[in-house]
Amino acid sequence: MVTPNLDQLRIFCKRPELNQTMRAKATLMLADGMPLVWASRLQGTPLPERVAGSEIIFSLTAAAAEAEASIFFSRWQSGYRREGGRAIGSANPGLKIAGILCPAMGFEKDAAMMAVIKEEVLAAKPDLVYCCFGFQSRNG
């Protein structure tokens, strides 16, 4: 799932290879920003509403807890390990947290770190993985 916003679309226009990667990998795209909804209306292909990734995490997590599915969390801020894990767990009794990983900034440029992350996620065998890193682009 990808939740692109207006800034990301600007970057995709400048870097078509990112657009191609996103389209090839994402099974679900949701508009994260009202400017995208407004533009879709002007274009004549109206989107029903804005759906922010930061909001959909709550309903997905609740559904995962109900289905007894496990979740693996990956994100930038290491404080999330304590605070966020507790908050999401207490809001969703029975939620199975397969793992929480908070790699240092720049991890995507380090092949060894990428291999470690891949091994950790695969070993945890989660049903759902949240990657909450935001979006940055070189030369963006």
pLDDT at 140 over 50: no
Q: According to DSSP H, which parts of the chain are helical? A: 6-14, 16-25, 34-43, 53-66, 83-91, 111-124
pLDDT tier for residue 14 given thresholds of 50, 70 and 90: confident
Q: Rounded to two decimals, what is the model's pTM? A: 0.69
Q: For the residues of 25-38, what is the DSSP string, one character each?
A: H-S-B---SHHHHH
The fraction of the chain above a pLDDT of 70, given in percent, is 84
Q: H or E stretch including 131?
A: strand 128-132
Residue-wise pLDDT for 95-126, tens only, equals: 898 988 888 777 777 888 888 888 999 999 99
Greater model confidence, 76 or 125: 125
